[in-house]
Chain A
Amino acid sequence: MLDKIDRKIIQATQAGLPLTPQPYQAIAEQLGLTSDDIMMRLSAMQNSGIIRRIGAVPNHYKLGYRFNGMTVWNVPDEAIDELGQKVGQLEFVSHCYHRPRHLPEWPYNLFAMVHGKSQEEVDKQIQQIYDLLGGNNLGWDILYSTKILKKTGFRSSSARKSNDNQTVTD
C-alpha cells in the first residue's frame, strides 16, 4: 500500500517529471528526501503496477492519428478471456477490456481501441480483429470519436484532499 511519502512523491510528479539533468534529485530536494529514496520508491511503485510506466503521452491528433475508434464485439463469455488476450496483443490496439453487455440493445462485451492515420488503415485493423475472432464474432460495431467534450487527468484521492493537482493515467 501507499504510505505518506509515496503520496507526496505522486503529488510532486503529477504535473510531470522535472526537465533538468537530475530530475529525481530535483524532486528529492523539493520533498526533503534523498534521490535514492525517490528512485527506490518510484521503482517499487512501477513494480507493483501503481505506476504503469514513466514516459511520454502524445496527442493522437498531433501525430496524425485522426481516426480513433472504439471497436466493440459480441463474443461468447466462455471464450472472452482467451480472445481478449489475443486482441490486446495486436500492436495497433491501445486498450482492450471485457465490459458488461446491456441487452438487448448493447450486446457487445469486448472493447478494443484502435488508432489510424487514415480510414483505410483503421479498416485493415478492424479486418484483422474480425479475422482473429472468426466464428466467435457474434456481431460488432465501431464508434469513432467525433469530438472531445472534456479531457482532464484523473485526480488521485490523496491529491484531491490536499490540492487541486491532477494525476494522469492511461
Chain B
Amino acid sequence: MDEIDKQIINALQNGFPICDAPYQQVAVQLGLTEQDLITRLKALLDNGTLTRFGPLFNAEQMGGALTLAAVKAPKERFDEIAEIINAFPEIAHNYARNHELNMWFVIATETPEQVRQTISAIEQQTGLSVYNMPKNKEYFVNLNLKA
C-alpha cells in the first residue's frame, strides 16, 4: 500500500458518484487515470485491504430486523459456545471481547419475531442467558478510517 493507495482508500470511503463514468470522475480528482484507479482498486480488494466496494445497505430500512446480543461463555466452554452460536445463519458477526460478557454477536433476520426465536434457540442450545441489546436510537454510523 503506497501513498496513492491511501488516497484512494480515503477518497472512496466518503462516497462514490452516481454518473456515467464515476471512476473517471474520481480519478481526475486524484490525479490518476481511470485505468490506474480501477487497477489499484482491484488490487486493494484482492489483497483484502478493502473488504468491499459498492453500496452499503441499511438492513432495517430494507425491512429486516437487527440486534446486538451478548453471552457470558464460561472459559472451558468458549469454543463450543462459539460454534453453536456461529452455526445460526442469522448471526452476522460474532466477536470475542475482554469482559465477563465475553461473546458479542449481531443477529440479523427478516422480522423482529425471528430475532426473538433465534435468541430462544441460542439460550436453549447453550444453556446461557442471552443479553439482548437492540438499539433504542442510532446517533451516528459511519466507519471511516484514515489510511
Contact = CB atoms under 8 A, between A and B. Distances in A.
Interface of A: 2, 10, 13-17, 19-25, 35, 39, 42-43, 45-46, 48-60, 62-63, 65, 70, 80-81, 84-85, 87-89, 93-100, 102, 105-106, 109, 111, 115, 141, 143-158, 160, 167-170
Interface of B: 1, 8-9, 12-16, 18-24, 34, 38, 41-42, 44-45, 48-59, 61-64, 66, 68, 82, 85-86, 89, 91-101, 103-106, 108, 110, 131-147
Contacts of A39: 18-19
Contacts of A60: 145
By secondary structure, the B interface counts as: mixed
Q: 9 nearest interchain CB pairs?
A: A88-B140, A88-B139, A56-B12, A16-B54, A84-B139, A149-B94, A150-B94, A147-B96, A143-B97
Nearest to A90: B140
A52 B62 CA distance: 12
13 contacts: A2-B63, A10-B57, A22-B21, A46-B18, A52-B142, A55-B53, A56-B12, A58-B9, A58-B50, A88-B140, A96-B138, A99-B134, A148-B95
Given A59-B51, A154-B64, A54 B137 contact: no
A111 B137 CA distance: 10
B68 A59 contact: no
A24 B64 contact: no
A160 B147 contact: no
A144 B137 contact: no
Contacts of A167: 57, 59, 62
